[in-house]
Amino acid sequence: MRKIKVRKKILIANEEYAAKNRAFLKDRKLPCLNVISSPGSGKTTLLAKTIETLRGKLSIGVIEGDIQTDIDAKRIRKAGAPAHQINTEGACHLSAAQISYAFHKLPIDRLDLVFIENVGNLVCPSTFDLGETDKIAVLSVPEGDDKPAKYPMIFARAAAVLINKIDILYATDFNIKKVKADISKLNKKTKIFLVSAKTGEGMKQWCDWLEKRAINKRTKSAKKTRPRQ
Ligand X SMILES: Nc1nc2c(ncn2[C@@H]2O[C@H](COP(=O)(O)OP(=O)(O)OP(=O)(O)O)[C@@H](O)[C@H]2O)c(=O)[nH]1
Binding site for ligand X (CB under 6 A): 37, 39-45, 72, 120, 164-165, 167-168, 196-198
Taking CB under 5 A as the criterion, the residue among 43, 49, 165, 213 binding Mg ion is 43
Query: What Rg do the C-alpha atoms of the chain give, in angstroms?
Result: 18
Q: How far is the CB of 103 from ligand X (least distance, A)?
A: 21
| Per rule CB under 5 A, count of chain residues that contact Mg ion | 3
For 141, residues 6+ apart whose C-beta sits below 8 A from its C-beta are 163, 164, 165, 166, 168, 169, 172, 174
Q: How far is the CB of 69 from ligand X (least distance, A)?
A: 9
25 or 60, CB closer to ligand X? Answer: 60
85 or 164, CB closer to ligand X? Answer: 164
Question: With CB cut-offs between 5 and 8 Å by kind, which of Mg ion, ligand X, none does residue 41 bind?
Answer: ligand X
Question: Per CB under 5 A, which region of 3-11, 43-51, 81-89, 90-98 contacts Mg ion?
Answer: 43-51
> 32, exposed or middle or buried, with CB in 10 Å at 0-12, 13-18, 19+?
buried
Q: In the window 61-120, what residues touch Mg ion (CB under 5 A)? A: 72
43 or 135, CB closer to ligand X? Answer: 43
**DSSP collapsed to 3 states, 176-206:** HHHHHHHHHHHCCCCEEEECCCCCCCCHHHH
> Is the sign of the CA dihedral 125, 127, 131, 134 positive or negative?
positive
| Number of residues assigned to the chain | 229
Q: Where are the alpha helices (DSSP H) in the chain?
A: 2-28, 43-53, 71-78, 96-103, 147-150, 152-157, 176-186, 203-225
Question: With CB cut-offs between 5 and 8 Å by kind, which of ligand X, Mg ion, none does residue 85 bind?
Answer: none
Taking CB under 5 A as the criterion, the residue among 37, 44, 126, 187 binding Mg ion is 44
117 or 132, CB closer to ligand X? Answer: 117
Q: How far is the CB of 155 from ligand X (least distance, A)?
A: 16
Report how far residue 32's alpha carbon sits from residue 16's, in angstroms, rounded to the nearest whole number. Answer: 17
Spatial CA neighbour of 21 closest among 118, 143, 108? 108
17 or 206, CB closer to Mg ion? Answer: 206
Residue in the shown chain whose Cβ atom is closest to ligand X: 120
Contact flag: residue 182 with Mg ion (CB under 5 A): no
Report how far residue 214's alpha carbon sits from residue 112's, in angstroms, rounded to the nearest whole number. Answer: 7
90 or 227, CB closer to ligand X? Answer: 90
Residues lying near Mg ion in the complex (CB under 5 A) are found at 43-44, 72
